[in-house]
Chains A and B, each alone.
Chain A
């Protein structure tokens, strides 16, 4: 039962840690293929996490043990390895610095969507999440559309004022392409000097209120 809640458990742990950075990087190596890297960096909060991980529950929520977090990463990696079009899956967990990464190569944007949806579903089996279109690629551009599990995250933090706890938590996305970018729809997004990458950073409390803040339509030249 606890395993089936691991998505929420990990979320709880991250939320209580207060200060953390999530970085999502999608780097296209050609028009279709590329690599995906997700980094969760809680090293700012490691003194808090050291204490929290010794507890079973905190503020009424069960907290995962380190082996559960590692196990879940390993399970997500297994699911990704079994997803067609996904290769070179690697994950890393550092419980001294509280740094966690998972990375893989994908053959197409469809494979990337399939892999991410499968990984999220495996980590939240009981919640029965539906697949969602996270990214969309077409000849003229690239789109970041939805966040998997956004409704579930919203539900789990509903009624809880986490703005104080999470004021220093950020989510950054970086998308790198082999083509030059003409424009981006999200006014907060920045285009790199060489015109081939887009970065978007938001404070987590803002994202928890509105996941569409990450929506971005990128047009190529």
Chain B
């Protein structure tokens, strides 16, 4: 029994910091990205994976208003940090978290790090930039040491560090960047006017020196001149305002960073979906807090409604409680195993969503579609069986709730009923049940397609004339077979589409579009009794349903999943090589990929009461080496490094 407390203590000691770090992530963060640097380092062996993470590194993002601040010096060299994190004193066994936060007028990206050696981390911060001392603000407070900068700020408290990269936007930084720089204020105007009225002012002296012929123009011209002390005082005031604005910015950043270093009362670990991911020991994961994303006025997809609201017009809150949108989130995790990379996608929702999904995903793939897919030459497929009609019901209610839930200005009030009115007039049967949501898209080898192109002919005098010629182009043979829900509607639409002059009637139930000089593909559409078939190969649609059956394993996957995807990489790559690189002897990069890459597969899981997901695997032929190492090898050869 004595061992139990020791065991608990040991567990606490080994997992405590990771737990503490995640405790600091606010529950309303719109996303959290986590990297297990130790695992990635071990699995990549001598290969450098960090360059593929460059876009995620602190200070490397630059969008719009952020751009100007990129020239500023940063306390951290982000590339070096990601390349050699352990040399920065970072505890690479714990997750490195990246999340987005927005509090009042300060928003940005937070990099949350566990430290193994805080002194070393602090010593690696840049203090000199472009040959000059970085003279931003450093504060040592009870809550930690803070290095504050206009773009990147760093805070250290014990074994925890955060790097905060501030986002700049016109709306958030209006006060700092625009008004403070304006230069002349109303006091300057008032002082200048008072000065102009003095009988011995520069204005009067110059105006009345006898040299002016156009009096009105002279008044305007000389009014601009004034005692330099007035401009000096105005400049002093402007400088003071600017300093105050900068100080206020730093105060806000400091307050935010102080709060971010503390365990949050409402933290992300309280979210069961995030907690499950966090405990999953994944190599990397990203958690999308969809609900928080949508409720953040700067990040939500309807953000323009707010951004244009800088006029401060009153907005009315709806007061409606979220039903379908409450607690929704999604996540991606990736794990590199020997010979296989596994990517898992999970969409989590509440009990109100489940009935919709149960119905939408409660159907199976239409067996009749399988006969249109050439099993013998199959290179890859994507099968989908989701009831469009049922899914449309969900999205209708979902978007109505989202729109209803947003605070609105007076002029936005009619937006929702107008949209609902327009939607009410739509023929839902035609829209969602002509094709019922069951379809298979497949690549079944390569085919020669006649394509037109521009060339030149020359007359007897060698005058050049542009002519259109044809040649055979090898293209992947693509086939899409979609199940028909309402054949009468399908026939109606097929007949209407066939009347467009770009289509040619090939057979009673087949229309074709022949690509011209500007569109390098052909498209043939065939309506049968049970399916609509589209392909770029006329043979597929002229004589459909005469193919060898699909391999048993693929049949099983297609019929037992709502979404199933597979790419036979070997066959696909061999086809690409023969179609496009025939006669090319040396292509080491292609050989490298062919030698390593195995099949790529994805299948979904049946929707459960609170989640729906899918798992994708990328197989590598060498089952003894880690997938990350092998994938990096392939990327390296393709990049030509």
Give residues in A with beta carbon < 8 Å to B: 21, 23, 25, 39, 41, 43-44, 46-48, 50, 57, 59-61, 96-97, 99, 160-165, 167, 172, 174, 176, 192-194, 196-199
In contact, B586 and A161 (Cβ under 8 angstroms): yes
Interfacial chain A residues near B473, Cβ < 8 Å:
47
CA distance A181 to B462 in the complex (A): 14
Residue of A44, A57, A165 with most chain B CB atoms under a 10 A cut-off: A44
Interfacial chain B residues near A60, Cβ < 8 Å:
589, 639-641
Give residues in B with beta carbon < 8 Å to A: 451, 453-456, 458, 460-462, 464, 471, 473, 475, 517-518, 520-521, 580-587, 589, 638-641
CA distance A21 to B464 in the complex (A): 13
In contact, B586 and A160 (Cβ under 8 angstroms): yes
Interfacial chain B residues near A46, Cβ < 8 Å:
453, 520
**Given A41-B456, A174-B464, list of 8 further CB < 8 A pairs?**
A46-B453, A47-B521, A48-B580, A57-B640, A59-B587, A97-B517, A164-B581, A194-B461
In contact, A164 and B585 (Cβ under 8 angstroms): yes
In contact, A174 and B583 (Cβ under 8 angstroms): no
Interfacial chain A residues near B517, Cβ < 8 Å:
43, 97
Question: What is the distance, in angstroms, from A30's C-beta to the closest C-beta of chain B?
Answer: 18
CA distance A57 to B517 in the complex (A): 27
Q: Which residue of chain B is the closest to A96 with respect to CB atoms?
A: B518
Interfacial chain A residues near B581, Cβ < 8 Å:
164-165
In contact, A174 and B640 (Cβ under 8 angstroms): no
A-B contact pairs, 23 of them (CB 8 A): A21-B455, A23-B464, A39-B456, A41-B456, A43-B455, A47-B520, A50-B520, A57-B638, A61-B640, A96-B518, A99-B454, A160-B586, A162-B584, A163-B583, A164-B581, A164-B582, A164-B584, A165-B583, A165-B584, A174-B458, A192-B461, A197-B462, A199-B462
In contact, A196 and B454 (Cβ under 8 angstroms): no
Residue of A41, A46, A167, A197 with most chain B CB atoms under a 10 A cut-off: A46
CA distance A21 to B471 in the complex (A): 15
CA distance A43 to B475 in the complex (A): 16
Question: What is the distance, in angstroms, from B14's C-beta to the closest C-beta of chain A?
Answer: 42
If over half of A's interface residues share one DSSP class (helix, strand or loop), that class is named, otherwise mixed; here it is: mixed
CA distance A219 to B349 in the complex (A): 84
Q: Which residue of chain A is the closest to B590 with respect to CB atoms?
A: A59
In contact, B456 and A21 (Cβ under 8 angstroms): yes
CA distance A197 to B458 in the complex (A): 11
Q: Which residue of chain A is the closest to B451 with respect to CB atoms?
A: A47
In contact, B584 and A97 (Cβ under 8 angstroms): no
Interfacial chain B residues near A176, Cβ < 8 Å:
461-462
CA distance A176 to B517 in the complex (A): 30
CA distance A41 to B469 in the complex (A): 13
Q: Which residue of chain B is the closest to A163 with respect to CB atoms?
A: B583
Question: What is the distance, in angstroms, from B538's C-beta to the closest C-beta of chain A?
Answer: 18
CA distance A131 to B462 in the complex (A): 30
In contact, A44 and B458 (Cβ under 8 angstroms): no
In contact, B585 and A161 (Cβ under 8 angstroms): yes
In contact, B640 and A199 (Cβ under 8 angstroms): no
CA distance A84 to B432 in the complex (A): 67
Interfacial chain B residues near A161, Cβ < 8 Å:
584-586
In contact, B584 and A192 (Cβ under 8 angstroms): no
CA distance A194 to B208 in the complex (A): 85
Question: What is the distance, in angstroms, from A202's C-beta to the closest C-beta of chain B?
Answer: 15
CA distance A193 to B459 in the complex (A): 9
Interfacial chain A residues near B458, Cβ < 8 Å:
174, 199
In contact, B589 and A164 (Cβ under 8 angstroms): no
Question: What is the distance, in angstroms, from B598's C-beta to the closest C-beta of chain A?
Answer: 23
Question: What is the distance, in angstroms, from B118's C-beta to the closest C-beta of chain A?
Answer: 39
In contact, B639 and A57 (Cβ under 8 angstroms): yes
Interfacial chain B residues near A47, Cβ < 8 Å:
451, 473, 475, 520-521
Interfacial chain B residues near A21, Cβ < 8 Å:
455-456
In contact, B461 and A59 (Cβ under 8 angstroms): no
Interfacial chain A residues near B639, Cβ < 8 Å:
57, 60
Question: What is the distance, in angstroms, from A130's C-beta to the closest C-beta of chain B?
Answer: 29
| Interface residue from B461, B582, B586 paired with A196 (Cβ < 8 Å) | B461
